[in-house]
Amino acid sequence: MNGEPETGRGYLEERGWRSWAYTMDHKRIGVMYLCTTIAFFFIGGIFALLLRLELLSPQAKYFSDHAYNVFFTLHGAMMIFLFIIPAIPSGLGNFFIPMHIGARDVAFPRLNLASYWIFVAGFLVVIASLVSPMDTGWTFYTPYSAKTGAAVATLSFGIFLIGMSSILTGLNFIVTIHMMRAPGMTWHRMPLFLWGMYATSIIQVIATPVVGVTFLLLAMERIFGVAFFDPSKGGDPVLFQHFFWFYSHPVVYVMILPAMGIISEVIPVFSRKPIFGYKAIAYSSLAIAFLGFLVWGHHMFTSGMSPLANAFFSFLTFFVAVPTAVKVFNWIATLYKGSITFEAPMLYALTFIFLFAVGGLTGPFLGALATDVQLHDTYFVVAHFHYTMMGGTVMGFFAGLHYWFPKMTGKMLNEKVARIAWALVFLGFNVTFFTMFITGFEGMPRRYAEYLPRYHVENVISSIGSAILAVGILVMFWNFLQGIRKGPPAPGNPWRALTLEWQTSSPPITENFPEIPVVTDWPYGYGEPKGRTA
Amino acid sequence: MSQESTGSRRTYFIVYAALVALTVVTVLVSYVNLGLMNVVVALAIASVKASLVALFFMHLKSEDRLVWGFALVPLAFLALIIGGTLLDTMLR
């Protein structure tokens, strides 16, 4: 940004579509990302409900097997690539990283806007692939993906573009955090959300090119017949899995680390206590990012990989639990003897800890070689994944949306409705997915439209749970819309939080702060004398 | 960035000539049967070429430690994906 601001207009005041389409304001770009990704959350959610509808009956009743395959592929691909990866980093991250470090914008505002429009180009290509929709599952495994008549090359090109957008966003955030911090904002005075986002950005920049290259290789095999993965011509289908998971395992930390950052913000605010173990939480983000690159092979224990590689990846997998547990124990220590209040952001943050702990503790069953052979590709994996990603990341996202809603919109939410929605989401989620641990443990395989009658009761329970969950989410977003339309004006700092975004107006002015703040303290000194760092 | 910090025109031409020469070497070596070593030699030449591009054309030579860190750390991850994959494919 050049020079000091001349005006103090709210960032939402300018009207007209051009003011959004051409904006280089990180906050508006963040809002555009949020709206886009939430739209895909709903579309992906509709596919999930269609799956649950089909699974009400042991026999295929409503859709063909092919349609079922398409539904779970699109549910996975949209939720992963168009919602859960970009939602927190590109949406909330874009909005709050510059505000957290006391800057007026990101380091490269024009690149930021470009990354959004590349994302749009990517999802348009993904939508174009629906003329011959994918039925491979979101993992695109060869050899099937190299042979199916579905539009694999089109969809993978769309994801290639989305990946490019993700790299540009990560690059922008790394430079922003290094170069744009306000005077006095040392690394150890940064809010923990930033540490999570910094670790996330590094993964985005390092890992995403690998999946881009992998999809290019797949496209070359499909279009030009270059046999990278076809064993009949000297290729290796397991090689695809190596490349795919070298990206796709670290990327689960792209999903979860920003959510953990949100939890680290919400817990101390609503406990009115300094965060416990600031440095441990901060550096555990980097440790998770690093360790996440070492364990991709644990997705491939039944693929025919070498026994030594199996043992190696299984052994390393257990190390991921250490920095993850460091975070969870520090959050619990923060809660201890705090003056806890249960507003909606805190309810979702506590839900995150509970559900993520269940998801995390079921991980070792899949990381251990012996039990993974039994549980691989069963509903146990589906349950584990949803407990970590939906129970973790999405609950963290909901916590962030409720926490920052007053800042982003300048309006307060109806707290009572927010709590009702939370109760429905919590109940619906657990009814849906805890049941899947049981069906998976009993041996029901995933990705089939039909199943043995002995799994019927569990599947009906899961489907009922998914309906409750859907109602809860609809109530939550109805509350958001009502809040935007009719909510009472939000004060600058309704939660009495200490991070910098709360020290400016709600909604913020275009330039974020009337003057660049000078930071003299860490942002978690609740009930402490001023002037200390972590 | 000044001409001093990015190198002289003469340096660029020397680097360019080196890149062309190394490309010729790559092609020539491919005609010699060295078994598995063909891949090793080709990758070694490619690594030298990439280093020249990064050092001179991308000005890494005159950058500070932070930029060097960001340039080198991904190489460790590249080694990781190659090593981890070989652990499977060589011992399967």
Distance CA A404, CA A374 (A): 43
CB distance from A315 to chain B under 8 Å?
A: no
Average pLDDT over residues A398-427: 98
For B88, which of A174, A210, A306 is closest by C-beta distance? A306
Residue A529 has pLDDT above 80, yes or no: no
Identity at A521, one-letter amino acid code: D
Q: What is the pLDDT of residue B1?
A: 46
In Å, what is the CA distance from A421 to each residue of A390, A415, A427? 16, 10, 10
Q: Please state at what angle helix A192-224 crosses helix A250-271, rounded to 10 degrees.
A: 160
Largest CA-CA distance found in chain A, in angstroms, rounded: 70
Percent of chain A surpassing pLDDT 70:
98
Span A487-494, average pLDDT: 96
User: Which band of pLDDT confidence, cut at 50, 70 and 90, is reported for residue A492?
Assistant: very high
Higher pLDDT residue, B4 or A84? A84
Mutate to test the interface with A, among B88, B89, B90, B91 (most CBs of A within 10 A): B88
Band of residue A533 on the pLDDT scale cut at 50, 70, 90: low
A411 DSSP β-pair partners: A489
CA distances to B16, B23, B49, B50 from B26, rounded to whole Å, are 15, 5, 11, 14
Q: Which residue of A has its CA nearest to B85?
A: A242
pLDDT tens sequence across A101-122: 999 999 999 999 999 999 999 9
The HSE-up count of residue A8 (CA atoms within 13 Å, CB side) is 6
Q: Is A29's pLDDT higher than 70?
A: yes
- Digit-coded pLDDT (tens) for A93-106: 999 999 999 999 99
Contact A156/A219 with Cβ under 8 angstroms? yes
Residue type, A25: D
Q: What is the pLDDT of residue B35?
A: 87
What pLDDT is attached to residue B8? 85
Confidence check: pLDDT of A80 > 90 = yes
CATH 1.10.357.10 fits A22-503, yes or no: no
* Average pLDDT for A483-504: 96
Residue A398 has pLDDT above 90, yes or no: yes
Out of A3-7, A477-481, B70-74, least confident range:
A3-7
For residue A472, what are the contacts with CB-CB under 8 A and spacing of at least 6?
A421, A422, A423, A424, A425, A426, A427, A428
- pLDDT value at A4 more than 80: no
User: A313 and A258 in contact (C-beta within 8 Å)?
Assistant: no
| Chain A contact set for B85 (CB, 8 A) | 239, 242-243
Inter-chain CB pairs, A–B, below 8 Å: 46
Question: Is residue A220 pLDDT above 60, yes or no?
Answer: yes
pLDDT for A31 equals 98
CB contact under 8 A, A238 and B66: no
Lowest mean pLDDT among A142-156, A247-261, A312-326: A142-156
Residue A248: the pLDDT is 94
- Paired with A378 in beta bridges are A445
Give mean pLDDT, residues A156-182: 96
| Residue A530 confidence (pLDDT) | 62
pLDDT digits (tens, 9 = 90+) for B29-76: 999 999 889 989 999 999 999 999 999 999 999 999 999 999 999 999
| pLDDT, chain A, mean | 95
Query: Do you know the residue count of chain A?
Result: 534
Option in B73, B81, B92 nearest A210 (CB)? B81
The CA distance from A266 to A79, in Å, is 25
| In the predicted structure, residue A128 carries a pLDDT above the cut 50 | yes
E-strand spans in A105-158? none
Q: What is the pLDDT of residue A333?
A: 98
Contacts of B77 in chain A (CB under 8 A): 206-207, 293
Q: What is the pLDDT of residue A113?
A: 98
Give the residue extent of every domain in chain A: 22-503
With bands split at pLDDT 50, 70 and 90, how would you rate the model's confidence at A134? Answer: confident
Between the CA of residue A279 and those of A187, A262, A286, A287, what are the distances in Å? Answer: 10, 16, 11, 12
What pLDDT sits at residue B2? 47
Q: How many helices (H) and strands (E) does chain B have?
A: 4, 0
Q: Is A213 on the interface with B (CB under 8 A)?
A: no
Domain count, chain B: 1
User: Cβ contact (<8 Å) for B88 and A309?
Assistant: yes
Give the residue from A459, A455, A460, A466 showing the smallest Cα distance to A432.
A466
Q: What is the tens place of the pLDDT at every residue in A146-155? A: 989 899 999 9
CB proximity A171 to B under 8 Å: no
Mean pLDDT of A476-487: 98
Is A297 touching B (CB cutoff 8 A)? yes
Q: Does the structure show a pLDDT above 70 at A77?
A: yes
Q: Compare CB distances from B89 to A174, A206, A236 and report the shortest one's residue.
A: A236
Please identify which residue in the block is written with the tokens 């901060």.
A282
ipTM of the complex: 0.85
Which band of pLDDT confidence, cut at 50, 70 and 90, is reported for residue A8?
confident
If 0-12 CB within 10 Å is exposed, 13-18 middle and 19+ buried, where does residue B1 land? exposed
